[in-house]
Structures are given as structure tokens and as C-alpha cells.
Amino acid sequence: MKNVIDSEHSQTIFSGVKPTGRPHIGNYFGAMRQFVKLQEENKNGENYFCIVDYHALNLIQNAEEMRHLSLDVAIDFLAIGIDPKKSVIFKQSDVSEHTELAWIFDTITTVPYLKRAHAYKDAMTKGGEENISVGLFNYPMLMAADILLYDTDIVPVGQDQKQHIEFARDTAEKFNRIFPTQDGSTLGGGVFKLPEAYIMKDVETVPGIDGQKMSKSYNNTISLFASDEEIEKSVLSIVTDSDGEVPQNVFAIHSLIKPEKELKKIYEENKGKYKVLKDILIEDLKNFIRPMRERRGEIAKDLDFVNKVLEEGKEKARAVASQKMEQVRRAIGVS
Ligand code: ADP
């Protein structure tokens, strides 16, 4: 697992976000903020940020909603500071090599292996096997294809995705072993490069307002572009589990946006005064979110620009992915 990058050498960064709803501060601190940091550090390399709509299709099965949510993620990417001059922003469905490669990976992967996935196990406890689609079951292979198509070195993600990066590495190794390249020259003898997860230790799992992992599916989020009223409402509903008169969940969320040293002083001075501490968090969150929300509002007014970014991203990603698929086709003997 990496958490430094070598800015001297060109690296390839890849990550994706599912268009399944508004992003929350867990997505931002756990992963999306690192997209921007890495984009700035990786001056000589390539950065790909993908709107993974075919992953979202497991959940969003309505054309109008899918179109809207996908465009929303593109706007979110731009609003947090992903710069289309430095990074490729594109939709997964615009590059059909992703699903083509996922099929090839399906053929070299066993069912028991995929049954080890945490996401599958979660879905099993929630609804049982009869409610799990084949798409959800195979999701790690599509994700492996997303990452491996671009010879990715580093994948910035939250802790919940660590296992999927390991699956991508295993799949790359397995493919390279089964299908060695004819000349043995590409990437030290194999078609695929092994990627590494980039996970920031202190924000690997951002807690939600109930103390569990913040997640759209638990209804415990604070939206990244929330209005002032929404911020107030979310913070006032934070569950105040306390330890020595410090409300733990309030403190944990607060520490995302304020240095711990400053916070400790504030929480010491206001021991037991939960309402006061929540009010301070509300003000700090409002100040943190407001500029990003306003920037998002401006970008959302210029959809021609957003669509142009996606169009250019599609061309750039396609060029790279189609070359990689040529190597894959040669390696498996269908070219
Ligand atoms: P969600 O998990 O909310 O459905 P995605 O799967 O699109 O959203 O996740 C986008 C990124 O945000 C992933 O890299 C994921 O690991 C990260 N992420 C999601 N929730 C959290 C959290 N609570 N803490 C840290 N990172 C998170």
C-alpha cells in the first residue's frame, strides 16, 4: 500500500466514483481529496478519474436518473479541483474496453474467489443470494478491468476498496501467468502492471453521523455540497456517544476539517457542552463547504463545458484502452 508518490517519475493514477447519489464528506476525505493532491504531485504522469456508471447500473436502473447522476459526478470532480488540463475525466460506458476486459477476467476467475468479496458478503447478510445480481457478484472483475486497462500504478481509495485493489492485483498476476506475451517484452513479461492502493491512514474510514462508516446506503452522511440548512440538520443529528465528556462522533467529524491540537483545546474548554461543540462544528463545516458548493453552482451553469470535458476525456481514455486491448487480444489469441 502506498501513501507517497514518486513525482520524479511518470506514474499513472486511476480512480472511480459511482454515480449513485450526492457525494458525502466520507467520499471526499477518504478518496476524492487525494485525487486532487495526486494530480498536483504527478506532474509527469497520467491521471484518470472515471465516472463508473456501469457499476452504478447495479443500483440505478432508470435512464433519466442515470444521465443526471453521471453528469453530476463530472460536475463534482471539477468543483473539487480536478483540472481537465491535468487529468482525464471520463465515463466508463464511453470506453467499451472496460466491459470487454471484464468478460475476459470472468473467464479466469472462480466463483469461490469472488465469494470472498466483502461487498458480496454484506449483500448476502442483507438480502440473501436470490437478491444478488450477477452484475453485483462480478463487480470486482469490472473494477479490475477499469484499473488494469491504463497500466495504473496507484489507486487512491478509501479502506472499503482495499480488497478490490488486491483482487485487481491477483487478476493481473493470474492473467500474466496464463497468457504470457509472445515476445516477453511488455512490462517485464506480462500484459498487466500490478497496481497499488493509496489509502490515507487517518481518513481510511470516515464515520457517519451515527458513528458507523459514512455511507449513502446507511443514511448517515453529510453531503459534500450541502446547503447551510442541511449542514445544521446533519450535525444536530450526530449521535453523541461520549467518552470523558467529549462527544466522540462530533470530535471525529470535526477533526477532518480542523487540526487536532486546536480541537483538543476547544473540546477541553467546552467539556460536556454538546450543543456548543455542535454549533462550532456547524460553523466550521459551513465555512469549509461553502466555497466548494459555490464553485459547483458556477460549473453547473455551463453544461456545454462539462460535456466538452467528458467528450475529450472519452477520446483520450479510448486511445489508451484500445491499445491495451490490442495486447490483450494478441495474448489470448483472438486478434
Ligand atoms: P459509496 O461507498 O458512498 O457508495 P463510492 O463507492 O462511489 O461511494 O466510493 C467512492 C470512494 O469513496 C471510494 O474510494 C470509497 O472507498 C470512498 N469512501 C466511501 N465511503 C467512505 C468512508 N466512509 N470513508 C472513507 N472513504 C470512503
pLDDT digits (tens, 9 = 90+) for 165-197: 999 999 999 999 999 876 655 455 699 999 999
Q: How far apart are CA 230 and CA 258, in angstroms?
A: 20
Best residue among 59, 91, 160 to mutate for probing ligand 1's pocket (most ligand atoms within 8 Å of CB) is 160
Q: Ligand 1: list residues with CB < 6 Å.
A: 17-18, 20, 26-27, 30-31, 157-158, 160-161, 205-206, 213-216
140 and 263 fall within a common domain: no
Name the residue range of residue 154's domain: 12-204+303-332
Rounded Cα gap, residues 202 and 258, in angstroms: 13
Does position 248 have pLDDT exceeding 70, yes or no?
A: yes
Please report the pLDDT score of residue 3 as a whole number.
55
* 287: amino acid identity, one letter: N
pLDDT for the residue numbered 217: 84
Binding region:
18-20, 26-27, 146, 158-160, 206, 213-217
Q: Per residue in 53-64, pLDDT tens?
A: 999 999 999 999
- The answer to whether position 241 is within a domain reads yes
Mark whether 164 and 238 lie in a shared domain: no
Distance between Cα 25 and ligand 1 center (Å): 9
Q: How far apart are CA 68 and CA 308, in angstroms?
A: 16
Distance 204 CA to ligand 1 centre (A): 9
Same domain, 62 and 153: yes
Average pLDDT of span 206-232: 95
> What is the four-CA torsion angle of 118, 120, 124, 127, rounded to 10 degrees?
120
Total count of domains within the chain: 2
Take residue 90 and report the three cell numbers written for it. Answer: 471520463
Same domain, 41 and 181: yes
Q: CA 199 → CA 79, 163, 165, 249, distances in Å?
A: 22, 12, 11, 22
How many DSSP H helices and E strands does the chain contain? Answer: 14, 7
Tens digits of per-residue pLDDT, 98-109?
999 999 999 999
Among protein residues, the one whose CA lies closest to atom 21 of ligand 1 = 26
- Cα(232) to centroid of ligand 1, in Å? 23
Predicted local distance difference test score (pLDDT) of residue 240? 86
CATH of residue 163: 3.40.50.620
Q: Which residue has the higher pLDDT, 238 or 9?
A: 238
pLDDT at residue number 6: 64
Asked whether the predicted pLDDT for residue 246 surpasses 90, the reply is no
237 and 270 housed in the same domain: yes
Nearest to 68 by CA among 15, 27, 20, 32: 20
Q: How confident is the model at residue 245 (pLDDT cuts 50, 70, 90)?
A: confident
Greater confidence, 125 or 245? 125
189 CA to centre of ligand 1 in angstroms:
34
Tell me what the mean pLDDT of segment 134-157 comes to: 97
Task: Return the ligand 1 atom nearest residue 203 CA.
Answer: 25
Q: Which residue, judged by its Cα, is nearest atom 4 of ligand 1?
A: 216
CA 109 to CA 116: how far, in whole Å?
A: 12
Q: How far is the CA of 255 from the centre of ligand 1 (A)?
A: 18
- Give yes or no: residues 71 and 170 share one domain: yes
Amino acid at 195: P
In this structure, are 40 and 164 located in the same domain?
Answer: yes
